[in-house]
């Protein structure tokens, strides 16, 4: 192994063990920014192939996506997030990162969320769904097929009666559903969707809490509407995202394709692709950022640490406490398939913040 690789390994071990001096941290960051590091990482990965963990991580995607956006503050998140991603990659490739000292609260860890949900049928009975499920549920004239993290409704010859099911995801869960009309819905963590078992009449209406991404099958004779947090979002042939968590300041509707009409009962606005309604305030939107969660990423653009932590809380099912008042805004992309401690490491390198994990509680404080 080259002297450069040995030195990087030494610095990384120092960092992971919390023993890096200020001079060693400076050296580590400088080393990771060197143009030859990508080649070195690739060589190290091929030589070591640390086993199942390394096989599961799309490390090239992680490294490139986390440096995609420009920084939104003086702290150079591109530089330090890249360093964090590179260090994480060396950890995986070298096979020496281990979750040891499990009794140490700082080293406790929480794995990412997965496909899981609760289906509540019209009669009040519930069915637990997870990524391993494969079953057929018959509900009247409607067949409901579960295959892994997806639920698909097939309604035939409706008798005109209306009954409602509810699909709910816990914190740390997500799920996908195909509604009886063929509309696809991706449900984010800590969310629920109430919908009819079969669409009848002149309207298709569903109710959302939390966040979901919709790909609606347009039918001008039977318009599709979403009710969320006092707002009504009506499809005009479209793909869109709605974020309506009760702990967020406002409902956000982001149009990806087509058109939607949004209403608060007093005013109406027609959204164009690339626009976002925050409440009823219309602005330009970053569509990739709005639906990053659906594509397996966290995406931040000048996002406050408090909003970031709310997102992490939902996905990792972790409670958040704050030791200090923090005025930190960060930009960048991080994959959602890593443990919460790995996300924290990246955030620590990007901003003046640090974390402590104990049980399922994370304390956020100034560095």
In total, how many domains does the chain have? 2
Q: Which of 46-60, 116-130, 238-252, 285-299 has the lowest mean pLDDT?
A: 46-60
Per-residue burial over 69-100, b if 16 or more Cβ lie within 10 Å, else e, is: bebeeebebbbbbbbbbbbbbbbbbbeebeee
Q: Is 367 helix (H, G, I), strand (E, B) or coil?
A: coil
Interhelix angle 37-48/3-16, nearest 10 degrees: 80
Cβ contact 169:191 at 8 Å: yes
pLDDT value at position 2? Answer: 62
Distance CA 155, CA 25 (A): 60
| Residue 184 CA neighbour count, 13 Å, CB half | 9
Q: Are residues 226 and 78 in the same domain?
A: no
pLDDT tens column, 107-125: 468 999 999 999 999 999 9
pLDDT value at position 18? Answer: 58
Q: Are residues 172 and 286 in the same domain?
A: yes
Q: Are residues 130 and 246 in the same domain?
A: yes
Q: Are residues 120 and 210 in the same domain?
A: yes
- What percent of the chain has a predicted confidence (pLDDT) above 90? 56
pLDDT value at position 28? Answer: 72
pLDDT value at position 63? Answer: 44
Q: Are residues 271 and 297 in the same domain?
A: no
* Rounded-to-10 torsion of CA 188, 304, 291, 272: 120
Of 305 and 57, which is predicted with more confidence? 305
DSSP alpha helix (H) spans, 120-171:
none
Q: Are residues 39 and 62 in the same domain?
A: yes
pLDDT value at position 27? Answer: 77
Cβ contact 82:32 at 8 Å: yes
Distance, C-alpha 267 to centroid of its chain:
31
Of 133 and 24, which is predicted with more confidence? 133
Q: Are residues 140 and 284 in the same domain?
A: yes
State which residues form the domain around 53: 3-109+292-366
Of 159 and 131, which is predicted with more confidence? 131
Mean pLDDT: which of 85-89, 159-163, 174-178 is highest? 174-178
Looking up residue 121, the CATH number of its domain turns out to be 2.60.120.1440
Of 102 and 30, which is predicted with more confidence? 30
Its pTM stands at 0.74
pLDDT value at position 256? Answer: 95
Contacts for 97 with CB less than 8 Å, ≥ 6 apart: 16, 91
Mean pLDDT: which of 66-70, 306-310, 343-347, 356-360 is highest? 306-310
Q: Are residues 32 and 72 in the same domain?
A: yes
Give the closest residue to 320 by CA, choosing from 344, 298, 350: 344
Separation in Å, CA 104 to CA 100, 263, 310, 316: 9, 51, 24, 19
User: How much is the mean pLDDT over the chain?
Assistant: 80
Q: Are residues 148 and 189 in the same domain?
A: yes
pLDDT value at position 65? Answer: 42
Angle formed at CA 345 by CA 342 and CA 349, multiple of 5 degrees: 145
pLDDT value at position 159? Answer: 63
Q: Are residues 136 and 160 in the same domain?
A: yes
Could you tell me the pLDDT band of residue 90, with boundaries at 50, 70 and 90? very low
pLDDT value at position 113? Answer: 95
Average pLDDT over residues 32-47: 53
Domain end call among 290, 309, 340: 290
pLDDT value at position 211? Answer: 98
Of 307 and 351, which is predicted with more confidence? 307
Mean pLDDT: which of 5-19, 117-131, 150-164 is highest? 117-131
Looking up residue 11, the CATH number of its domain turns out to be 3.55.50.30
- What percent of the chain has a predicted confidence (pLDDT) above 70? 73
Using CB atoms within 10 Å of the CB of residue 333, give its burial: 0 to 12 exposed, 13 to 18 middle, 19+ buried. buried
Could you tell me the pLDDT band of residue 87, with boundaries at 50, 70 and 90? very low
Q: Specify the pairing of strand 191-196 against strand 142-147.
A: unpaired
Domain end call among 234, 262, 290: 290
Could you tell me the pLDDT band of residue 212, with boundaries at 50, 70 and 90? very high
Domain end call among 261, 290, 319: 290
Mean pLDDT: which of 8-12, 14-18, 359-363 is highest? 359-363
φ and ψ at 209, to 5 degrees? -120, 145
3-state secondary structure 225-241: EEEECCEEEEECCCEEE
Q: Are residues 138 and 158 in the same domain?
A: yes
Using CB atoms within 10 Å of the CB of residue 348, give its burial: 0 to 12 exposed, 13 to 18 middle, 19+ buried. middle
Q: Are residues 63 and 126 in the same domain?
A: no
């Amino acid at each position: 192994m080259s002297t450069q690789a040995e030195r990087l390994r030494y610095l990384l071990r120092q960092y992971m063990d919390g023993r890096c001096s200020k001079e060693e941290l400076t050296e580590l960051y400088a080393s990771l920014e060197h143009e030859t590091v990508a080649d070195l990482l690739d060589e190290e990965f091929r030589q070591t192939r640390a086993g199942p963990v390394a096989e599961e991580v799309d490390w090239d995607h992680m490294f490139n996506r986390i440096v995609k956006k420009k920084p939104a503050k003086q702290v150079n998140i591109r530089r330090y997030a890249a360093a964090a991603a590179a260090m994480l990659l060396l950890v995986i490739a070298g096979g020496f990162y281990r979750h040891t000292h499990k009794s140490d609260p700082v080293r406790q860890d929480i794995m990412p969320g997965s496909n899981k949900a609760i289906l509540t049928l019209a009669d009040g009975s519930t069915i637990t769904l997870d990524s391993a499920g494969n079953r057929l549920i018959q509900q009247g004239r409607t067949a409901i097929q579960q295959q892994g993290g997806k639920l698909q409704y097939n309604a035939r010859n409706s008798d005109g009666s209306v009954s409602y099911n509810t699909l709910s995801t816990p914190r740390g869960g997500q799920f996908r559903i195909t509604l009886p009309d063929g509309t696809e819905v991706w449900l984010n963590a800590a969310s629920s969707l109430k919908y009819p078992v079969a669409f009848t009449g002149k309207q298709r209406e569903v109710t959302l809490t939390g966040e979901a991404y919709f790909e609606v099958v347009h039918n001008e004779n039977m318009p599709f509407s979403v009710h969320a947090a006092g707002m009504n979002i009506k499809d005009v042939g479209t793909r869109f995202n709605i974020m309506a968590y009760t702990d967020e300041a406002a409902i956000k509707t982001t149009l990806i394709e087509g058109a939607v009409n949004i209403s608060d009962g007093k005013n109406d606005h027609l959204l164009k692709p690339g626009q976002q309604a925050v409440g009823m305030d219309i602005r330009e939107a970053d569509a990739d950022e709005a639906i990053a969660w659906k594509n397996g990423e966290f995406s931040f653009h000048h996002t406050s640490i408090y909003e970031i932590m709310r997102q992490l809380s939902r996905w990792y099912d972790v409670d958040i406490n704050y030791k200090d008042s923090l005025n930190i805004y960060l930009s960048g992309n991080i994959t959602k398939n890593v443990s919460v401690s790995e996300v924290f490491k990246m955030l620590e390198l990007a901003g003046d913040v640090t974390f402590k994990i104990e049980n399922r509680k994370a304390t956020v404080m100034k560095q």
